[in-house]
């Protein structure tokens, strides 16, 4: 099935069939409709690297302030993602040092120890479902440790995260695809998100109360002691920061790690390069971020009428910036359709760009590097289990089922 309808200018990207291997769909859109319309919403979709990068760098035209249009159960904007400069800049000045490269690298030894503890549990068995056994617990436990939250609450946080990002998994499927059924189903998802968000805020309210009674050298303690222009953060500001960080910290690294290992399992000649030369792993992390791009798209709100490649974007449109397509654009990357772990100047957009560039990029890079190093040191020759097919989700492109086997 073609992803692009040239007659209508519509694209169909959030289909599970496209999610597994989206590169042909990306190429088709760049060639035929570099600015198209989403098939469901009719809103613009932008695919070329230069256009996506330009939009990310210009929040005065393409705003992240979409808390009124795109709620995830939150009553206020998520900080700093759903606010724009100059207000956003004040929060980034506070938060960026807390996620600096130096601070994140200091966490690497503990992540490395945990990676080996996880592998100890299944290495001799010769098989595992990678998502549940490794890709979920490794980065998620590290993120809870950064916050100073108990690892024993991991499942609670995973349920809250999925209840907000993927509420459909907790709800009965609609009886049919009629407009009435779909409207009711969407309303049920919104209600479940709100319920889950309230649960998350209640958790943090209790945790903040405990933190105030004793000094803590962790992220939550740092937020409680932080000031902007001489004023401490309010409870609401801390809640809104925690809400965003937990959603991002418990989802995207897991998705990226699963996509990376699935690619290497299905491309053993590429995996062999890493086994022969482990110092290629940092470059492999960057190249697989470019090629796999788990966060396939980000939304922005057009604040003015804008013309892009002859397409009229209207003020008030929710514009989808298709980062996955931008990251494989031959007009920007040399030999873009090849995966090259030694690619020079790999300026991809997997972490976004402009003032809203991913706050946790240093943490993500460290976790991915350490995970790849320890996995390939301990389990160098793995493959997809015979007869099995990895299952990918659309939107945030995650391998939800990745059964691996190896010779124990």
Domain count along the chain: 1
d(CA 113, CA 110): 5
Share of the chain above pLDDT 70, in %: 95
Task: Determine which of 37-51, 66-80, 114-128, 162-176 has the lowest per-residue pLDDT on average.
Answer: 66-80
User: Can you give the pLDDT at residue 273?
Assistant: 97
User: Can you give the pLDDT at residue 34?
Assistant: 92
**How is 300-317 classified by DSSP, letter by letter?**
EEE-S-EEETTEEEPTT-
> How much is the average pLDDT of 211-235?
87
**Which residues constitute the domain of residue 200?**
4-406
* Pairing outcome for strands 227-228 and 399-401: unpaired
Highest-pLDDT range among 56-70, 102-116, 166-180: 102-116
Neighbours of 266 (CB within 10 A): 12
Phi/psi-derived region of residue 209, left when phi > 0, alpha when psi is between -120 and 50, beta in every other case: alpha
pLDDT digits (tens, 9 = 90+) for 90-144: 999 999 999 999 999 999 999 999 999 999 999 999 999 999 999 999 999 998 9
CATH code for the domain in which residue 153 is found: 1.10.630.10
Neighbours of 171 (CB within 10 A): 13
User: Can you give the pLDDT at residue 2?
Assistant: 67
pLDDT digits (tens, 9 = 90+) for 306-358: 999 999 999 999 999 999 999 999 999 999 999 999 999 999 999 999 999 99
CB-CB contact of 332 with 49 (8 Å): yes
Unique residue bearing structure tokens 């459909």: 168
User: Can you give the pLDDT at residue 299?
Assistant: 93
- For residue 347, give the nearest of 15, 33, 56 by alpha carbon: 56
Is pTM beyond 0.85? Reply is: yes
């Amino acid at each position: 099935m073609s992803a692009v309808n040239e007659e209508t200018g519509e694209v169909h990207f959030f289909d599970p069939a496209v999610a597994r291997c989206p590169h042909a769909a990306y190429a088709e859109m760049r060639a035929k409709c570099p600015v198209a319309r989403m098939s469901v919403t009719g809103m613009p979709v932008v695919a070329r690297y230069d256009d996506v990068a330009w939009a990310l760098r210009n929040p005065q035209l393409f705003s992240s302030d979409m808390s009124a249009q795109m709620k995830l159960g939150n009553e206020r904007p998520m900080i700093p993602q759903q606010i724009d400069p100059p207000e956003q800049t004040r929060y980034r000045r506070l938060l960026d040092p807390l996620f600096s490269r130096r601070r994140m690298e200091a966490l690497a030894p503990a992540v490395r120890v945990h990676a080996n503890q996880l592998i100890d549990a299944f290495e001799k068995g010769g098989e595992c479902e990678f998502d549940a056994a490794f890709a979920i617990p490794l980065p998620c436990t590290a993120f809870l440790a950064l916050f100073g939250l108990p690892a024993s609450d991991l499942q609670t946080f995973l349920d809250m995260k999925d209840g907000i990002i993927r509420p459909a998994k907790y709800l009965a499927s609609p009886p049919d695809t009629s407009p009435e059924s779909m409207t009711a189903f969407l309303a049920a998802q919104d209600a479940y998100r709100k319920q889950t968000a309230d649960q998350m805020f209640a958790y943090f309210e209790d945790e903040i109360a405990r933190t105030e009674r004793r000094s803590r050298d962790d992220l939550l303690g740092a937020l409680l002691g932080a000031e902007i222009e001489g004023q401490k953060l309010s409870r609401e500001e801390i809640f809104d920061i925690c809400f965003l960080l937990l959603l991002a910290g418990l989802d995207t690294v897991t998705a990226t790690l699963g996509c990376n290992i699935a690619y290497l399992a299905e491309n053993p000649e590429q995996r062999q390069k890493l086994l022969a030369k482990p110092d290629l792993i940092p470059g492999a992390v960057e190249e697989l971020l470019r090629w796999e791009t788990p966060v396939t798209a980000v939304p922005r709100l057009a604040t003015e009428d804008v013309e892009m490649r002859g397409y009229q974007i209207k003020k008030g449109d929710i514009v989808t910036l298709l980062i996955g397509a931008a990251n494989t654009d031959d007009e920007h990357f040399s030999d873009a359709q090849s995966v090259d772990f030694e690619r020079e100047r790999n300026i991809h957009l997997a972490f976004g760009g402009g003032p809203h560039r991913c706050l946790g990029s240093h943490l993500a890079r460290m976790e991915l590097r350490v995970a790849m190093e320890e996995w390939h040191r301990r389990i160098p020759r793995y493959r997809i289990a015979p007869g099995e097919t990895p299952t990918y989700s659309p939107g945030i492109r995650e391998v939800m089922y990745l059964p691996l086997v190896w010779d124990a």
